[in-house]
Chain A
Amino acid sequence: MNENRSWKSRLGELALWASVAIATAVILVLLSEQLLPENF
């Protein structure tokens, strides 16, 4: 593991993984009409 990475690099990676999490949530919300039964 590279311990000498800059804080900008670490922040950038954190933003990347956060955006992956948000994108996953948004996709699931958009698909929720199909995923969940009616009148759940």
Chain B
Amino acid sequence: MRYVRVAGKLLISVGCGVLMFVAWTLWGTGIYTSQQQNALAEAFAGAPPVVLDPGSEDVAVPESFRPGPGEHAFKMSIPTIDFEQIVVEGVGSDALKKGPGHYPECRPGFERPLCTPFEEMWPGENGRVIISGHRTTYGAPFYNLDKLKRGDEIVTETSWGDFTYKVTIKTIVEPDSPLVVIKNDEPELVLTTCNPRFSAAERLIVYAELVT
């Protein structure tokens, strides 16, 4: 009888530990992200402006602007879902703990498959800007991404200007879909996250086109 009682208490204790882990994963990790976002916002506010080539009609961010892994890239806000965060460079697990990540090109600090073999695109440029973010955990920046509708605005504030995109399509694909990280000459923004919530079985993709 004594052993049964001890085993019961052990199971209850382990169960409490599992609950603590779940609470930490869902909410505790957000504390780290919040602290990182505060530091990133300060760094972004103090960053020098990026000067574009005045002779070019199209936006072409100079190659001198290439943030390192986890460094601030630009600010993104989506008024419809009350979202405003600093986007960091890179989509590795360490970068995404700080906030949504901008898909980089393969260069020192970024390795396949978490980078593109073609030139990375920035807001305003004629190409696909790809941003990935957590749906749950680490502040869950894209928790409400499924609530976006056609026409909703996505605003990017960068060191070379502000650019507004409007949502065009929302779709769900397989996690290894080859349709997301591709080269495209149209000025568009693509947001990707896990779907459904609390699962990595699928990817939710939101496409938006540049309007201003």
Contacts and interface: CB of A to CB of B under 8 A. Distances in A.
Q: Of residues B5, B10, B17, B133, which shows the largest number of chain A Cβ atoms within 10 Å of its Cβ? A: B17
Nearest to B197: A40
Given A20-B17, A24-B13, A39-B134, 18 more contacts: A18-B13, A20-B13, A21-B13, A24-B20, A25-B17, A25-B18, A25-B24, A28-B17, A28-B18, A29-B21, A38-B96, A38-B200, A39-B96, A39-B135, A40-B134, A40-B135, A40-B198, A40-B200
A16 B38 CA distance: 38
Interface string A8-40: 000000000110111111011100110011111
B20 A25 contact: yes
Contacts of A28: 17-18, 21
Interface residues of B, number: 26
Interface residues of A, number: 19
Contact of B132 (A18, A32, A39): A39
B137 A40 contact: yes
A22 to B, nearest CB: 7
B16 interface: yes
A21 B25 CA distance: 16
